[in-house]
Amino acid sequence: MSDQVKNDVLSLNPAANIKLLRHPIYDNYGLPVPVDDAKRKLSIDKDCKVILFFGLIRKYKGLDLLLQALPHIHTKQKFILLIAGECYDDKKYYTEILSRLQLQNKVIWHDGFIPNEDIKYYFSAANILALPYRTATQSGVTQVAFHFTTPVLVTDVGGLGEIIHHNIFGYVSQPDPVAIAKWLDDYFENNKESGFRDEMAKEKYVYSWENFTNAFIDFINE
């Protein structure tokens, strides 16, 4: 759980016996594959940097904020936004943003359910995962990203910043298109990827199922 969820529980029951345990990584989607192989599988130009938006598309997840951020990204690097997930909102709302901002050449949208066996290709192809949520307690997608050591940009809502430490595993941005673009520019222009990946690799053990299980057993035995 996140600190926010813990505090919500305590507000309902101040006497509750609570131990804060972070959700373990999702390591059931296979091992990372070479980036060129992943891009070939997804028909992405091997020279393109990839910003990944992954998961069901709902208003609170802020895909529109990310789309609106794209014109404000000024990196010299060639990049695309890869959207992978089924739209649970009115898709026309997003396609109108694409059209109005003339983003068709900047966006690849795989609209539909992503089979478990294909998830490794998306995270292996991605240079960074973007979770521009408007509201959240936490997101399971961050734990998939840790498995693949894919750096993450989150917004400063709920407990997302408790997992993704700013400028260590990625960025914690304000939920605003210009702010999101600023951090993505910093990421690509200052070659932050390898450093963030190294830090995520060091942190993975914290979110292992073994650590979670041992801590849970200790809590039960207290």
**pLDDT above 90 for 60:** yes
Domains and CATH numbers, the chain: 24-204 (3.40.50.2000)
What average pLDDT is seen over the chain?
Answer: 90
Confidence at 5, pLDDT banded by 50, 70, 90: low
Mean pLDDT of 98-105: 96
Report helix, strand or coil for 2. coil
pLDDT, residue 119, reads 98
- 3-state SS, 50-111, equals EEEEECCECHHHCHHHHHHHHHHCCCCCCEEEEEECCECCCHHHHHHHHHHCCCHHHEEEEC
pLDDT score for 6: 55
